[in-house]
Amino acid sequence: MRSFRPAVLLLLSAASAGAQSIPGAVLAKHEPHHHLAFEDATLRVLRVRVAPHDTTLLHEHDPDYFWVALGASTVINAKPGIADATIASPDRSVHYTPGKFAHVARNPGDAPFDNITVELLEPQTDVRNLCERALGDKPLDCPTTGRSSEYFVGGTEHPAFASDQIRVSLVTIAPGQSLRSSAVAKPAWVIALDTASTKHDLVTTGVAQWVGGALRSRVGQKWTVTNRGHAPIHVVTVIKP
C-alpha cells in the first residue's frame, strides 16, 4: 500500500464556515481522521486517513461531496438507523455523495483507508456521471472525444462527473509534461494525488506560486503546472465551466 501525502493546488480564494446541525455528530472537518487542507467559498478539501481496524467518530457532511480513493480499499459506511454498507474502491476511483447526513466510517481491512474528500459548498444541480461511476445509480455518459481544450491544455484527461456548476476529471501529467490554463482561464482547482515527492516534482510558473503547499491564481489569470519528476503524476481537476 502506498503512503500518500497529497499536495493540494488550488485556484481561487475566500473563506467559508459550517455549523453542526445533526445532534451527536461533529463536522467532518473537525473529525480527527479528517484533516483540513483547504477551504474557500466553493470547496473544502479534506485529507482522510483511517488506520486498519480503526473507526471514525460520528461525523456530518452537510454539503454534497466527492471523494477519491488513494489506493484500493474497503470501508464500512454506517449511518444511524440504516443498514451498514460495504464499499470496495479501486485506486483513484471517484465517488459522489449527496450531503445532509452523518455517518461512521469503519476500516475492516489490514491496509489504511486513504482518500481525498472534497466538500462542495455551493449547491449542485443535475449531477451526472461522465467516465466514472461516481453516482452508482446513474449511467455513464463518457464522451468519445475530450473537451479538455475548453478548460486546460496538456495532460491526459479522464472525465469523472459533472454538474451544472462544475466538471471534475482525473488527469495524468507525464514526466516533462505541463498542464496549463486554456486561452480563457476558468475558475479551477487542481489536487495532486501522489506521494510526498509530488510537491517537489510539480513546478508552477506564471502568476501562480506555491504558498504553504498550495498554488492559487485569480480568475482569468494564466497558470502552468509542470511535472519535472521521472514518473507520471495523477491529479484531480475541478473546473467551473
Q: Locate 41 and state its grid cell.
A: 467559498
- Whole-number pLDDT of residue 182: 81
Strand partners, 179: 225
Q: Domains of the chain (ranges plus CATH)?
A: 15-120 (2.60.120.10), 128-239 (2.60.120.10)
- Whole-number pLDDT of residue 195: 58
- Whether the pLDDT of residue 1 is over 60: the answer is no
3-class SS of residue 207: coil
Contacts of 46 (CB under 8 A, 6+ apart): 28, 29, 34, 35, 36, 37, 116, 117, 118, 119
Q: Give the best-scoring range by mean pLDDT among 16-30, 96-110, 178-192.
A: 96-110
Q: Are strands 101-106 and 59-61 parallel, antiparallel or unpaired?
A: antiparallel
Half-sphere exposure of 223 toward its Cβ, with a 13 Å CA cutoff?
27
Place of cell 473546473: 239
Q: Give the best-scoring range by mean pLDDT among 64-78, 150-164, 204-218.
A: 64-78
Contact assessment for residue 78 and residue 57, using Cβ atoms and an 8 Å cutoff: no
Greater model confidence, 219 or 27: 27
4 pLDDT tier (thresholds 50, 70, 90):
very low
20 pLDDT tier (thresholds 50, 70, 90):
low
